[in-house]
Each structure stands twice: as C-alpha cells, then as structure tokens.
Amino acid sequence: MEQVKIGLCGLAIAFLVSGCATTTGTTPQEKRQAILSMKSKALTELYENRLKARAEIAAAPGYAVFSNANVYLFFVGVGGGHGVVHDNKTGRNTFMKMGEAGVGFGLGVKDFRAVFIFHDRAVMEKFIGSGWEFGGQADAAAKAGEKGAAVGGEAVLDGITIYQMTESGLALQATVKGTKYWKDDDLN
C-alpha cells in the first residue's frame, strides 16, 4: 500500500511539473512571446547577481536561456522545459525544448532557469543541431518566490558557461542525468 501511495504522489508531482514546463499561450506567437519574456526576466536576474555575465554575453557568439522544471522521487529524476538560443551576430532566435532523466538520490520539485553562454560559434551551432548534454548534478533548493534560498551554480564545460538560478521548489538531489535539447518545430 505504501508503494502505491508513493507512486501516486510521484505521478501527481509529474503532472505538476509538466504544467510548469509548458509555455503559456495557445498560438505559436503567444508561446514565442512567453519564452522571450521568460528570457528577459532570467537575464535581468542573472545580471543583478552576476555582474560579469552581461559582458560575457555581449562578447559571446550567442547564448541560450531555458526554463526547466524537475521532479526527483527517490532514485529517479525527470524534467522538461523550453527556451531559446539567441545568435548575437545575426539576431536570430531558435526556439527549443528540453527533456531530461536521471538516476541517483533525490526528493522534491524544482523550477529553475539556466543561461548558457556559448564562447565558440561551432559549439553553439552543434548545440542547436544536436544538443546533448550529460553530467552529474548535486544541489539543494528551498525557495518560493523571494523567500528561501537555493544553491545555484556556474559551470564551464566545452566552451559553454552555464548559470543556474532556482525560481521555486523544495529539492535535494545528487544525480547523474542525461539532457536532450532540440529545436521546437512548432515555434521555428
């Protein structure tokens, strides 16, 4: 009976996260606008907390901003989201989706933003074209709106600087996960 309760709880959390991971709006234009609005808010927050990020983004060939929602339930974690890659040279936006799955210890739900700064054009183009990322992650978050705290991070991997900012959630996790990013055919 306890396993059934845990399973139902996990299913309910998955439905909640899937709602967080979708864009608002019903038309492609409304969805694109919601993603661009999320991007602007995330960059404003990043610039307030990491002063060097503005200069890094201005000097880079491009950057990406993603909104992610994750669920960690004991030994499995899943997540999904959406975002946009911006080419600083052409001004072009490429709208993308993301999904991830991981194994390890975790419990909770987390909604966060990730900003990727591409320091090399070839790396950015490869990300848009094939977009795989694989890695380990450990973090803790207990945040709702402006209350609480979360341990965010900065990482540099293969010519990409990644900043993560937690929006809300209560989570503790240490996982190895795979993440796939791909073009959103409905929005490009």
Q: Which pLDDT score is estimated for 78?
A: 75
* Residue indicated by tokens 């959390």: 13
Cα gap 24→186, rounded to integer Å? 14
Question: Of 67, 139, 57, which Cα lies nearest the Cα of 104?
Answer: 139
Distance CA 27, CA 13 (A): 27
CA–CA separation, 84 and 66 (whole Å): 7
Q: Tell me, what DSSP letter sits at residue 99?
A: E
Cβ-based neighbours of 115, under 8 Å, separated by 6 or more: 42, 43, 46, 53, 63, 64, 65, 162, 163, 164, 165
Contact (CB, 8 A) for 179 and 133: yes
pLDDT of 20 reads 42
pLDDT at position 147 is 42
Q: Residue 7: what pLDDT? A: 42
Name the pTM for this structure: 0.73
The pLDDT, as a whole number, for residue 151 is: 42
Instruction: Quote the pLDDT of residue 106.
Output: 61
Full pLDDT tens readout for the chain, 188 residues: 444 344 434 433 444 444 444 557 789 999 999 999 999 999 999 999 888 999 999 999 999 999 887 665 666 677 889 999 999 999 999 999 988 777 665 666 657 788 999 999 999 999 999 876 655 444 443 434 444 443 445 455 678 888 888 654 444 445 455 778 899 999 99
